[in-house]
Amino acid sequence: MADDKTVPEDFAINEGLEELIEADEIESLRAERDEFRDRFMRALADAENARKRGERDRREAEQYGSTRLARDLLPVYDNLNRALNAATEEQKAAAAALFEGVQLTLRELTNVMTRHGVKPITPQIGDMFDPQNHEAMFEAPVPGTKAGQIIQVMTEGFMLHDRLLRPAQVGVSSNTGA
């Protein structure tokens, strides 16, 4: 009979152990599930970030991929401008067809650059110096000007869409009073 008493007690102990083991297994499975959920969410966020980064890189490549070519064309633009500005009126009259060809070439180059997002920065004498768009080549005191005013423009600057391609090169007044 003593054996009869122990069986129900053993059964109750086993049943309690099974419940504890099941509770541990359930807790372990929940922890594993939470870990997998966290890893999945991180992987999903990484994939989304990679997609956005790829899209941004593609847009930038489309917009700014021609930066080197545009920079290489700027001296051509400068030289055509210098050629037109260096000639006297008599020289222009004597070689009218040549100067018309140079003007047309400069106009076509300007149109092509504009079509591809290259826009000139054309400061005027008297404008205030802007370090974001201008490069000061020299400072000089000029009567009738304020400090920081542009007194000479050497070369135009250029933007490629919203990025500075080349700053305008300018001379700046160093006067402290007008």
Query: The pTM is what?
Result: 0.68
Q: In which domain, by residue range, is 121 found?
A: 117-178
Under the banding of pLDDT at 50, 70 and 90, the label for residue 178 is very low
CB 168 within 8 A of CB 178: no
Instruction: State both tokens at 172.
Output: 């700046």
Q: Are residues 93 and 139 in the same domain?
A: no
Side chain identity at 56, as an amino acid letter? Answer: R
Q: Are residues 14 and 73 in the same domain?
A: no
Q: Are residues 107 and 143 in the same domain?
A: no
Total number of domains in the chain:
3
Under the banding of pLDDT at 50, 70 and 90, the label for residue 12 is low
Q: Choose the final residue of a domain: 82, 99, 116.
A: 116
Non-local CB neighbours of 152 within 8 Å, separated by 6+ positions: 125, 170, 171
Non-local CB neighbours of 92 within 8 Å, separated by 6+ positions: 99
Q: Are residues 176 and 122 in the same domain?
A: yes
Handedness of CA 117, 166, 65, 60 (dihedral sign): negative
Which CATH number belongs to the domain containing residue 155 in this structure? 2.30.22.10
Task: Quick: pLDDT tens for 119-175.
Answer: 999 999 999 999 999 999 999 999 889 999 999 999 999 999 999 999 999 999 998
CB 129 within 8 A of CB 103: no
Angle at 166 between CA 61 and CA 137, to 5 degrees: 160
Q: Are residues 75 and 131 in the same domain?
A: no
Task: Quick: pLDDT tens for 16-30.
Answer: 667 777 878 888 888
Task: Quick: pLDDT tens for 48-107.
Answer: 999 999 999 998 888 888 889 999 999 999 999 999 999 899 998 999 999 999 999 999
- Name the one residue in this structure whose structure tokens are 């129900």: 8
Q: Are residues 122 and 177 in the same domain?
A: yes
Q: Are residues 134 and 166 in the same domain?
A: yes
Q: Are residues 57 and 71 in the same domain?
A: no
Q: Are residues 91 and 134 in the same domain?
A: no
Q: Are residues 81 and 136 in the same domain?
A: no
Q: Are residues 111 and 153 in the same domain?
A: no
Q: Are residues 156 and 103 in the same domain?
A: no
Mean pLDDT score of the chain: 88
